[in-house]
Amino acid sequence: MNVKRLALFPGSFDPFTIGHADIVKRALGLFDEVIIGVGYNEQKSGWMPVDERLAVISRLYADEPRVKVVSYTGLTADFAKENGVTAIVRGVRTMADYDYEMQMADVNRQLTGIETVFLPASPQLASLSSSLLRELSHFGHDISVFLP
Ligand code: ADP
């Protein structure tokens, strides 16, 4: 039997950057399908409203049938389980990312049995973060070169 290998790439994507797009592209080389899960907190509105994030990312992958874009609230582990994913994919830029991601991966595996696959950030994109772009934008800089 040929089982579809499905990845969940969860994040805030506030905004979705060329670093995120790089992870999606590489995850497509490892999995049959990638769900981009736009996680949001009902108590916090975020920088870009979640519907807008969803619309922007969906448009980006409109011609890629192997990518699905959905929003979710609550625990990533629960969302991963509901979708029956093979693995969770996360990008790792720094040791700080690694420490945090190790904990999350461990908890998520204990809760659901679902493994997390870490993809090392491409070196030329490793300094890029959504929070940095929010800050640049706040101070009036054009961030469009960092957006896919
Ligand atoms: P979260 O709030 O869950 O950290 P983010 O949207 O900031 O959500 O990031 C989602 C995922 O993308 C995380 O695994 C993060 O490490 C990864 N990521 C963010 N920026 C980059 C980048 N420039 N290169 C590779 N991975 C990245």
Rounded to whole angstroms, how far apart are CA atoms 32 and 42? 31
In the residue annotation, 134 being an active-site residue is answered as: no
Q: What is the pLDDT of residue 11?
A: 98
The total of other beta-carbon atoms located within 10 Å of residue 15's CB is: 21
Where does the pLDDT of residue 91 fall: very low under 50, low under 70, confident under 90, or very high at 90 and above? Answer: very high
pLDDT digit string (tens) for 41-79? 988 889 999 999 999 999 999 999 999 999 999 999 999
Say whether pLDDT at 18 is over 80: yes
- Kindly indicate the confidence band of residue 134, based on its pLDDT and cuts at 50, 70 and 90: very high
- The set of protein residues with a Cβ atom below 6 angstroms from ligand 1 is 11-13, 17, 19-20, 22-23, 90-93, 97, 121, 125, 128-130
Give distance in angstroms: CA of 80 to centre of ligand 1: 17
Residue with tokens 């497509």: 28
Q: Residue 3: its pLDDT value, please?
A: 86
pLDDT of residue 1: 62
Percent of the chain scoring above 70 in pLDDT? 99
Q: What is the pLDDT of residue 45?
A: 86
pLDDT for the residue numbered 47: 96
Q: Tell me, in angstroms, the distance from the centre of ligand 1 to residue 113's CA.
A: 22
Query: Would residue 137 show up in a list of annotated catalytic residues for this protein?
Result: no
> Helices marked H in 83-121 — which ranges?
95-112
Nearest partner of 4 among 90, 66, 70, 79, judged by Cα? 66
